[in-house]
Structure 1
Amino acid sequence: MAQTEKQSTTLLAIDPKLPMAPQIYGSIRQSILDLRLTPKQALSEKELALMLGVSRTPVREALIKLSEDGLVDIFPQRGTFVAPIRVAEVLEAQFIREALEVSVVARVAEISDPTIIARLHESLARQKRAVDNGDLDGFLTEDENFHFILSASVNLTRAWKVIQNVKGQLDRVRVLSLPEPGHLAELYDQHLAIVVAIESGNSTAAKKHMTKHLQQVFRTIDKLLAQRPEIFFD
């Protein structure tokens, strides 16, 4: 399969009715995060522009921005590549995410609002369907929504944006871990434990369960480093 054909199947479509720059950036970024563009894969500015039906300038700008995000490596005279998964950056993102989300869930538990709890249970129901159907993409989408609900419910959406901005490397590790047998069900059970703690108004338990949930990435990294060392830079 030619590189152009391979890359064309990995990019999200561009809507000409919407602003182009954020769509181009978002399309390439999402394809990196969900591993349709794989770590260390070469990226052609010209081919990306042709496939997206845009000029090279906004593609170049998107790649520069993705380089600033740590998701793309640009080497003069050598080319542009999807960045390897850098363990140090994964651990830093995990540190930031845990610091923010543990505080967020404590606040949600202290409030223990029935409306918020109902929204969380709706999310859990969608997660359960994804688990039962083996729907990895559906579960990942609802996993993101679950954590967003927590931040939004206590008016801390900017905290979630901070997390989103730093967790690109972390997300790739998460995607790699999803196909592991029983992993989706384990994540669902962890989310359920968090909601039970929130329902009871027990902020200590909510923090404990959120910490356990988020720290699972450490176990995942160890496994992936052993199984697929070629995609990492440690």
Structure 2
Amino acid sequence: MAVETVLNPTQPVNQQIYRILRHDIVQCRIAPGTSLSEKEISVRFNVSRQPVREAFIKLAENGLIQIRPQRGSYVTKISMLQVHNGCFVREAIECAVVRRAAQRINAGQCYLLEQNLHQQKMAIEHQQQDAFFALDDAFHQSLAQIADCQLAWDTVENIKSAIDRVRYMSLDHVSPPEMLLSQHQDIYQGLKSHDEEAAGAAMHRHLHEISDSILLIRKENSDWFED
């Protein structure tokens, strides 16, 4: 924590700190139960405590940390209820989004999705797990943009912190990237042919994968979860 991390001076400091800490927690670099010190984080980013405190509040709102007055802040365990509820809401939103996207998608947008899918394939071949994770998110965000509803993605992003932690833990064996890429390609085929039902069904299968994998992930990492 003591190693200084350089921030971009053109972007809000609190948002950058939030994104970096969220990334570290989601990708299992900071384990559940770990204590987070405002002082140590402020030293890491060479900033005052105020933006760190603001980042902590956003992390707490997303269920990633718990702030205990006079006792400190701690990374939370993964809540099964939060994961299940997040999956339910995400599926409802994204299945609706992909159906609208299938109505509206044009040739230029198809090309951009094809480029994303190609980059996913390259990330898999080079075993770049972090890159694949980011491209996966970019693929889903692009669908909201095609559907002309950025609010849909903003809503999903705000509720999927617990889901992302399970997603990352499952990438290497339970939900391998090759399988996820194949599911993305099925979604794309429905979009390209303007087939709302096919795109919606493919999205449902894709997002249901996390529900199927969570029990195995919890069994393998029981100390990371709470009931």
Q: Taking structure 1 as the reference length, what is the TM-score of the superposition?
A: 0.90
SS, match of residue 67 in structure 2: strand
1:63-106 CA deviation, whole Å, 9 max, x = no partner? 12321221111223432111111111111111111111101111
The Cα of 1:223 is off from its aligned counterpart by 0.9
Contact 1:112 1:200 in 2 (8 A): no
Gaps of 5+ in 1: none
Kindly indicate whether residue 213 of structure 2 is the aligned counterpart of residue 223 of structure 1.
no
Instruction: Work out the CA distance in 1 between the residues paired with 2:34 and 2:203.
Output: 34
How many aligned positions are there?
A: 227
Instruction: Work out the CA distance in 2 between the residues paired with 1:210 and 1:138.
Output: 21
Gaps of 5+ in 2: none
The Cα of 1:17 is off from its aligned counterpart by 4.5
Aligned to 1:169: 162
Kindly indicate whether residue 79 of structure 2 is the aligned counterpart of residue 86 of structure 1.
yes
Contact 1:13 1:27 in 2 (8 A): no
Task: Note closer, same or farther for the CA distance 1:78–1:188 as it changes in structure 2 (3 Å cut).
Answer: same
Q: 2:16 aligns with which of 23, 37, 48?
A: 23
Kindly indicate whether residue 176 of structure 2 is the aligned counterpart of residue 183 of structure 1.
yes
Instruction: Work out the CA distance in 2 between the residues paired with 1:139 and 1:14.
Output: 24
Matches of residues 95-106 of structure 1 in structure 2 within 5 Å?
95-106=88-99
Q: Taking structure 2 as the reference length, what is the TM-score of the superposition?
A: 0.93
Q: 1:115 aligns with which of 108, 121, 125?
A: 108
Matches of residues 1-234 of structure 1 in structure 2 within 5 Å?
4=1, 8=3, 13-180=6-173, 183-234=176-227
Q: % of aligned pairs identical?
A: 35
SS, match of residue 38 in structure 1: coil
Aligned Cα RMSD in Å? 1.8
